Structure 1
């Protein structure tokens, strides 16, 4: 008799308040918090655009990751494209790291954009030059480094582009 294990499906979904407790319980080590923010802090940040799309990486029905797709003035620091969104606050709960969930989630991003934000043709992000693991992840999942640098408050950042 053959035994098959069923692994939960990884998918992207827009934030819903039914996941608030789970996102509020996210854990991130201090060295990662230097480069990102906790999901609920971002979702409730008073300066964030009302048009921001908050996205969860779900494994089955469990949120294991989070990021925001912003528009507005923050986006314009990175791109002049009126059909772009800025990816910010990307994180994977530390208890779920090391399982390929970040890569799986980012690989689903182009399809999520086409299905949910059909007017968007590009995602941009700024990643701190010191965050080598994140740079490698983004490049492996289709983002392109076009040799642009943004001088952010925490130091120089590579501006990476993902055409959708």
Structure 2
């Protein structure tokens, strides 16, 4: 099965319709939101250079979605020279097949293609979301060691350096 992470705007009409049917597992809704909230925040943003949506295609069928943000849409905890990851969602019917990992592996290249000047990717994850913490850590994201009060509970900030050594 071939997977690739593509900008939302490159999807054809059928793929956009299929993406609208992406379902998040009920237990993950509190963390990632649903596809309607994610697409709404992408499509109503007046600054398309500040927020971009990406879809993971598996054999040309959408199986996952995520958002990346840059200034002026960065959250308060993010560094100005980074892009932040939001609303990573894998269709519940496709979970356990490595699609979340595929998104994270492809993410640095698409982020740098969108914004060559960024130095890192950052995200915020609920401290009690052990599954997400494990996936991000395995993909090379580093916990800053800082916790702050988020909308649900305490959150941790993780980062992935994009600087080539």
TM-score bucket (shorter structure): 0.7 to 0.9
Question: CA RMSD, aligned part only?
Answer: 1.8
Task: Give the secondary-structure state (helix, strand or coil) at the position aligned to 1:153.
Answer: coil
Task: Give the secondary-structure state (helix, strand or coil) at the position aligned to 1:53.
Answer: strand
User: Does the Cα contact within 8 Å between 2:144 and 2:158 map onto a contact in 1?
Assistant: yes
Displacement after TM superposition at 1:105 (Å):
1.5
TM (norm. structure 1) is 0.86
Q: Deviations over 1:119-151 (max 9, x none)?
A: 111111110011110010001111100201131
- Alignment match of 1:128 (pick from 109, 126, 129): 126
Partner of 2:111 in structure 1? Answer: 113
Partner of 2:30 in structure 1? Answer: 34
Which runs of no fewer than 5 residues in structure 1 stay unpaired?
1-7
With over 3 angstroms needed to count, the CA separation of the structure-2 counterparts of 1:41 and 1:9, relative to structure 1, is same
Q: CA separation in 2, counterparts of 1:53 and 1:123? A: 14
User: Does the Cα contact within 8 Å between 2:55 and 2:66 map onto a contact in 1?
Assistant: yes
Displacement after TM superposition at 1:48 (Å):
8.0
Partner of 2:87 in structure 1? Answer: 89
Greater share of helix: 2
With over 3 angstroms needed to count, the CA separation of the structure-2 counterparts of 1:36 and 1:123, relative to structure 1, is same
Which runs of no fewer than 5 residues in structure 2 stay unpaired?
none
Q: CA separation in 2, counterparts of 1:22 and 1:150? A: 36
Task: Give the secondary-structure state (helix, strand or coil) at the position aligned to 1:40.
Answer: helix
TM (norm. structure 2) is 0.86
- Alignment match of 1:11 (pick from 4, 7, 19): 4
- Structure 1 runs (4+) deviating above 4 angstroms are 46-49
With over 3 angstroms needed to count, the CA separation of the structure-2 counterparts of 1:135 and 1:48, relative to structure 1, is farther
Q: CA separation in 2, counterparts of 1:72 and 1:118? A: 14
Partner of 2:77 in structure 1? Answer: 78
Task: Give the secondary-structure state (helix, strand or coil) at the position aligned to 1:115.
Answer: helix
How many aligned positions are there?
156
Q: CA separation in 1, counterparts of 2:124 and 2:45? A: 18
